[in-house]
Amino acid sequence: MPLQNRVTPLGELIADPSRGLVYGNRGCLHDEAGRIRRRFAGRRWIACRLRFRDWRRHPLMRPGGFTELFFLDEATALAAGHRPCALCRRDDYLRLVAIWRGLHGGPLGADAIDERLHRERLDPAGRSPRLHEAPIDSLPDATFVMYGGTPHVCVGGNLLRWTAGGYVGRRSRSLRGRVQVITPPSLIGILRAGWDPVVPLLHPSAFAVPQRAS
């Protein structure tokens, strides 16, 4: 039975046998039996490399350890509100800090970044994803939006529907007006700056989905 440690663009944890391309964590979320008991443990939500040095993550979800999470790709991790790890993705983290300084100024460092992202990714009660609105034609590639009640990613002039195994259902992004946006505003700023991470930004299925009518 697959573990409940795959993350959707909305930050939800689901069980699915498909394997993602990006790894991360947000603290210990499981009990001694490996059952998910909480959405997060702290504000430090990070996205990592699948492989780093000779470290091994086996078995997963050990009692008292952090919960190993897996994302389809970097776009999914950003939509869920995770930022690059300052250890295994040091260059990405430093680049994010540099872009962040230009966007926001003020205090820098992991704590300040994580505090702002925590406000942007969750509602005030900390229980549900915090969506915001923006004109769809203003959004950079790899931003996630809600379309037809499900998460879709913006890729060129198209919207692709997210699934745990890859992207499906290509539709034209020729919409007008404002849409509900999943990716936190600060991380949209990072994408708009031309984000090129060491982990896959988009799953290969994003470039292989057949065209469908709008």
Structure letter (DSSP) for residue 82: -
What does each of the 214 residues of the chain score in pLDDT, given as a tens digit?
Answer: 889 999 999 999 999 998 899 999 999 999 999 999 999 999 999 999 998 667 666 788 888 888 999 999 999 999 999 999 999 999 999 999 999 999 887 778 899 999 999 999 998 877 789 999 999 999 999 999 999 999 999 999 999 999 999 999 988 887 777 899 999 999 999 999 999 999 999 999 999 877 654 4
Q: Structure tokens of 197? A: 């991470």
Helix H or strand E encompassing 187:
helix 185-192
Model pLDDT, residue 93: 97
CB distance 50 to 69 below 8 Å: no
Model pLDDT, residue 73: 98
Per-domain residue ranges for the chain? 6-207
Model pLDDT, residue 214: 43
Model pLDDT, residue 57: 67
145: β partners: 152, 181
Q: Is the dihedral of CA 183, 99, 206, 53 positive or negative?
A: negative
How far is 155 from 141, CA to CA, in rounded Å? 5
Phi, psi of 153 (to 5 degrees): -105, 145
